[in-house]
A and B are shown apart, each in its own frame.
Chain A
Amino acid sequence: MKELTYDAVVIGGGAAGMAAARELDAAGCSCAIVEREERLGGILGQCIHNGFGLIEFNEELTGPEFAERMEERVRGTGVAVYTGATVMEVDAAPEIKSLFCYSASFGVIRLNARAIVLAMGCRERNRGNIRIPGDRPAGVYTAGLAQRLVNIEGFVPGRNVVVIGSGDIGLIMARRMSWIGCKVHAVVEILPYPSGLTRNIVQCLHDFGIPLYLSHLTTRIIGRERVEGVEITPIENGALMHEKSFVIPCDTVLLSVGLVPENELSKDAGVELNPMTNGPVVDSMLMTSVPGVFACGNVLHVHDLVDYVVEEAKRAGANVARWLKGERPQAEARIKAGPNVRYVAPSRADPSRDNKIYLRSLVVKNEASLEIRVNNRVVRTVKKAHIQPSEMLSVDLSRADLATCSGSPDPTVEIALA
């Protein structure tokens, strides 16, 4: 078996993997990207709509355009790119780690590296995960799979569509299906508020007159061979109102019910996961519980915007380079999710540097405030015009914010929303 050695290997060639690899290269480390698909870009390749890059490139790009820009940054460098190659096994030994990559073009090769960057992205939750009862006919697709079929493969999965879940992918697919002449009869959401971005509700539903049923549960899928309809039941005061159930006839159901970081390889490598994000627990350098294994992008926690993925991944790449040169964080502070906060990532901050922290709210609120508490003392408050669970927040934890950490044996930072 062929063996090759790099300072670092990046698993996954989406936005995150490319950004991390490019930083590693810029810092003088040898590195490789291993990507399962034939092309770099990850999920961006099928997102042919606009709305990418406002932060990173200061202009509005489509997904493929954004991917192309990222790819240009990688192509001119020393980064080795293996596409059509799947990492199937990781041996995260303390010094030199090995990755076994399977590919139709070269069989199996073994890549050795001192550091690994996990950038495998995420997968879609499916019918089984949300346990929709009923028949099991053809015509039930996750929204991302339908997006792939329409935008890349050129097939129309169905003509009369009901979208379950109001996540962004579902909203974008509602619009996409309308554009190709399909009828989207409804978007059905269990929560009392939509889980996608507001701009998508307006541009993808309102502009097409697609009804959004909030506080409605899909209680049954109907159809022996192909989908014939879905049964929808309203929820009032937390209870299912079975007597008010109704059926929407359709031939296709698209599910947009959330994403899950794709961490099976990470688990096999012994990486500890955070049950709130399903992503690895990472320190201030974005390093997981396994020394030398780092994570960024959607595999770490699900991001709404690719620009933040890139921002995080660049930091990860730079950190890996520092780590390879022997730098280790000293006296890190623990970061906790305080009141009304679903999660924070990373889980540690380095008081000797500026840190970027991402978080998600548990509540919907206007005129909210974010509090940074160090060892139970509020050190700074940041105003937030609007917070909601579906929109990721970020906060800069500066050296100044963390000044009081030194001197305490187990410094703790808590992020709270009110």
Chain B
Amino acid sequence: MKTGSGRYDVCIVGAGVCGANIARRLSAYELDVVLVDKYADVSFGVSKGNSGIIHGGFHHGRQHLKARLEIQGAMMFDRLRQELDFPFKRCGIVVAAFHEDEMRAIEQLYMQGVDNGVIGIEMCSRERMLELEPKLNPDVLGGLWVPGGGIVEPYRFVFSLVESARKNGVELLTDFKVSAAARSGDEWTVRAEDGRSIKARYVVNAAGLFADEVSAVFGAEEFAIKARKGEYYLLDRLSKARTERVVFPVPTSVSKGMLVIPTVEGTVLIGPTADMVDDKGDAATTREHLEKILSSARAMIPAISENDVITSFAGLRPTLGDDFYIEMSKKVPAFAQVAGIQSPGLTASPAIGEYVKDLLKKAGLKLKEKVDYDPFVGKRPHVKDLSPYEVDQLAAADPAYANMVCRCEKVSEAEIVEAVRAGHTTLDGIKYFTRAQMGRCQGGFCTYKIMKIIMRETGLSYSDITKNGGESRMLKDEL
């Protein structure tokens, strides 16, 4: 591997969950691959702000590419988890119906699921629903049960994928905003806004919300990605509203509705809304929508209380028609489009990695398996999951494991240092990697400690400490 040579076989634009899966899949072959992203860290785009659900394969019919990839992708998660050690759990999904006509819709979903080959899907009576999810509003009439549905921490999934890809030779370039491209001979020259450039024989456009802009930069197909915003509330891990299952309402024609999601890490997420916005940088939350979320979620799970809210956030779905657009460009050579990846993009992403690998192969990319490909990343200890006796043993080798930095999520100094050394040097990057600042005090106690660790480990000055890169500087001056 010729690090920094600037010449690659494949350049993947966008280090979201799609780009990360594609990069990792290609890292199994004798190829020089570079993954670039405009942000300071990976998974800072659509892939950080979503519901984190591994869907059940019953929402869409098989005529859609997205449904086929969803079903295939969902089945790949057990193995991926073993290899990559990210938080994932098959807690199951229930869809709750509260009216007779909703029960008819449930029947439709059930038949679609059976047709898609969903394992274990069943229709449920009221009694069965309350047994599966005792926190449901007792007014429930019945519903659907999909035991294979699950939850994942999306950014941790991306971090693990990228770590694995890098371990197998993929190069990562952050703060690399692709802004110009030219083809000469059998190579693309890809330029970043800051003047850096690289060359690659193949390019994959996995730029999420901005796949339309990237396509234009390469002179490929013209299309417009529109953003549909989804707002959420996050509830404390001690909330009485924590469910056992992901709870869905009966979906409408435009969205899967507002859900109650017991996250893998123990908190509860409620949302999302679904509203088109004109500005693709607009991830602001609004008062009206947040009120709507609380009331919809409470209709399903009455124990939800606004007193348990610890934060709110929003994500933007990159929409382009009603299906994924994954194919080789018909306009320019050696350019793969991976666009319009809205929900169930996270679920489908491992299958997208597979699919894009096959597309590139058909387009002439030679795939020769690496003999030394290692699909595993090392497991990292998390103090939160260990007994005091285990922590004592760890601390004997590295005392920083017994120095607690984030009290709410129980994160030690050693874990923060690991995050920094793995390249996560912004406060948000560390938050997504370690969960520090993600709990009930939202960083009130640990932010200054984390900033000091970043400065100590990286030698950055206080003025370079950012929330998530760019101009999101935390401190303005020194006394």
Contact = CB atoms under 8 A, between A and B. Distances in A.
A264 B238 CA distance: 9
B290 to A, nearest CB: 6
Contact of A102 (B402, B447, B473): B402
A324 B463 CA distance: 53
A199 interface: no
B309 A159 contact: no
A16 to B, nearest CB: 18
Interface residues of B, number: 57
Given A88-B404, A104-B402, A155-B479, A126 B473 contact: no
A178 B234 CA distance: 35
Contact of A219 (B238, B287, B311, B448): B287
A409 interface: no
Contacts, number: 146
Contacts of A124: 441, 444
Interface in B390-418: 391-392, 395-396, 399-400, 402-404, 407-408, 410, 412-413
Interface stretch (B84-92, B172-180, B277-285): B277-285
A170 B285 CA distance: 25
A108 B467 contact: no
Given A138-B472, A158-B476, A102 B285 contact: no
A123 B441 contact: yes
Given A86-B404, A153-B452, A158-B476, A107 B399 contact: yes
Interface string B453-477: 0000000001000111011111111
A128 B407 contact: no
Interface string A238-278: 00000000000001100000000000100100000000000
Given A1-B389, A128-B310, A224-B281, A145 B399 contact: no
A76 interface: no
A138 B286 CA distance: 18
Given A89-B388, A133-B284, A134-B284, A123 B471 contact: no
A141 B475 CA distance: 11
A407 interface: no
A4 interface: no
Nearest to B445: A123
A100 B441 contact: no
Contacts of A129: 309-310
Contact of A267 (B238, B281, B312, B389): B238
Interface in A287-327: none
A46 B445 CA distance: 13
Contacts of A135: 283-284
A102 B472 CA distance: 34
Given A137-B467, A267-B238, A127 B442 contact: yes
B389 A108 contact: yes
Contact of B403 (A104, A110, A127, A139): A104
Given A128-B234, A133-B285, A155-B462, A142 B444 contact: yes
Interface in A215-249: 219-220, 224-226
A156 B312 contact: no
B100 interface: no
B306 interface: yes
B476 to A, nearest CB: 5
B444 A1 contact: no
B313 interface: yes
Nearest to A275: B307
B475 A149 contact: yes
B472 A225 contact: yes
A199 B440 CA distance: 32
A103 interface: yes
Contacts of A108: 388-389, 391-392, 395, 402
A144 B238 CA distance: 24
Contact of B413 (A89, A104, A123, A226): A104
B442 A128 contact: yes
A135 B468 CA distance: 13
Nearest to B289: A133
A1 B476 contact: no
A102 B404 contact: yes
Given A88-B410, A138-B466, A126 B441 contact: yes
A1 B392 contact: yes
Interface string A343-360: 000000000000000000
A133 B286 contact: yes
B478 interface: yes
Nearest to A265: B407
Interface of A: 1, 36, 84, 86, 88-89, 100, 102-108, 110, 123-124, 126-129, 131, 133-139, 141-142, 144-145, 148-150, 153-159, 180, 219-220, 224-226, 251-252, 264, 267
Given A104-B399, A139-B474, 13 more contacts: A102-B391, A105-B399, A107-B391, A107-B399, A108-B392, A123-B440, A124-B444, A126-B442, A131-B290, A131-B309, A136-B284, A136-B285, A225-B468
Top 5 nearest A-B pairs (CB, nearest first) are A128-B311, A156-B477, A104-B403, A138-B467, A107-B395
Interface of B: 233-234, 238, 281, 283-287, 290, 306, 309-313, 383, 388-389, 391-392, 395-396, 399-400, 402-404, 407-408, 410, 412-413, 427, 440-445, 447-448, 452, 462, 466-468, 470-479
28 contacts: A84-B403, A86-B407, A89-B388, A104-B403, A104-B413, A106-B402, A107-B395, A107-B396, A108-B391, A108-B402, A110-B388, A123-B440, A126-B310, A128-B309, A131-B306, A133-B285, A136-B283, A138-B467, A138-B472, A142-B444, A154-B479, A158-B476, A159-B476, A225-B468, A225-B472, A226-B473, A252-B476, A264-B408
